[in-house]
Amino acid sequence: MAPPVGDLGKSFHSFFHSVDQFFSSLAAVGWESLLLALLFFSGYLVLRSRALFNALRAAYPDERFEWRRVWGAYVAAVGFKNIVPAGGANIIQIFLTKSSIERSTFPTVTAAITVGAIFDAVVSVLTMIFAFTQGVFPKPPDFAKLNAFDLEYFASHPQFTLFLLTAIGVLAVLAFALLSIRVKAFWVRVRQGFTILRDRRRYMREIASWQAASWLCRLTAFYFMLDAFHIGGSVRNALLVQGAQVVSTIVPLTPGGAGVQQALLVTVFHNAASGSTVAAYSVGQQIALAAFALGLGFIALVGIFRIRSFKEVMRRGREQQAAEAAAR
């Protein structure tokens, strides 16, 4: 079941019209606020990477490895995620992180990296509750009316969406059954990655505190980005932006959830400024953060890991995963 061509064309037209509005409004952008937004966004990346480092250090207490390599792996993945959808960024982060820790395994590294998802999930749920109670955020049934072909299609076809979710669940069960012979050794390594969760005080001190600080930096970056595009920087608006980003990550069919974010932001802020200003902001923020993250990620890839392309690290990551799986 493919999205109707008319809906697809309308979604792309809306997105690229907003891109055109962004480039037409460049002269009006508040560059000081934009630079502050990028500064706080970089702080967000640094603080998150420290939480990741602490989770890995708990999983591998006898190994010595550098924080800068964990940071480099993370920012390389963030940069790649903004230009290519789906899970390619995860392969990059896991491979680069594993290659930085001697005697590490993919299951343990993957588990340690996902430790932060617990805190993120709590923040995301609270953000969504706030967003849906403000009277400007579209309700899930209204997502079908948005000019975002991926979200619009799933919202307009609930039966297909239910079928897809069911199929994913069945495939997950089948995969688990096929791997059951190796599952015992696999879960031993996974539990190693979750070591820090068994010490509540250490988790709060070395994971939750760093993540809380990183989220403050992220929301502050959104505050200054809103100010840069003259939408109006405020805590409320920054939380609404984060709500839009949470929704866009649910269906990551486009790089960085671009179409979904753009459609939601235009809807949420349609009364905050003129249509052209909101359209410029809706893609301007995405372009600025994606370009910044991509540049930072490429610098980390070349400067720290001596790898010259995202394609090369993807190839190496897949080859090493396949080799390790074959050896077990």
| pLDDT tens profile 56-94 | 999 999 999 999 999 999 999 999 887 776 567 888 999
Going by C-alpha positions, the residue among 281, 296, 284 that lies closest to residue 231 is 281
**How distant is the alpha carbon of residue 27 from its chain centre?**
29
**How distant is the alpha carbon of residue 125 from its chain centre?**
15
To the nearest 10°, report the CA torsion of 313, 315, 318, 320: -70
* Distances from the Cα of 114 to the Cα of 68, 110, 111, 118, 288, angstroms: 19, 6, 5, 8, 27
Lowest mean pLDDT among 5-9, 35-39, 94-98, 248-252: 5-9
Confidence check: pLDDT of 6 > 50? no
Report residue 156's pLDDT band, with 50, 70 and 90 as the boundaries.
low
DSSP-derived letter for residue 231 is S
Burial 145-174 (b: 16+ CB within 10 A, else e): ebbbbbbbbbbeeeeeeeeeeeeeeeeeee
DSSP-derived letter for residue 208 is I
Between CA 314 and CA 325 the distance in angstroms is 17
Between CA 281 and CA 287 the distance in angstroms is 10
Question: What is the per-residue pLDDT for 63?
Answer: 95
More confidently predicted of 223 and 323: 223
Report residue 278's pLDDT band, with 50, 70 and 90 as the boundaries.
confident
Between CA 231 and CA 39 the distance in angstroms is 19
Q: Determine the longest span between alpha carbons in the chain, in angstroms.
A: 62
pTM above 0.85, yes or no: no
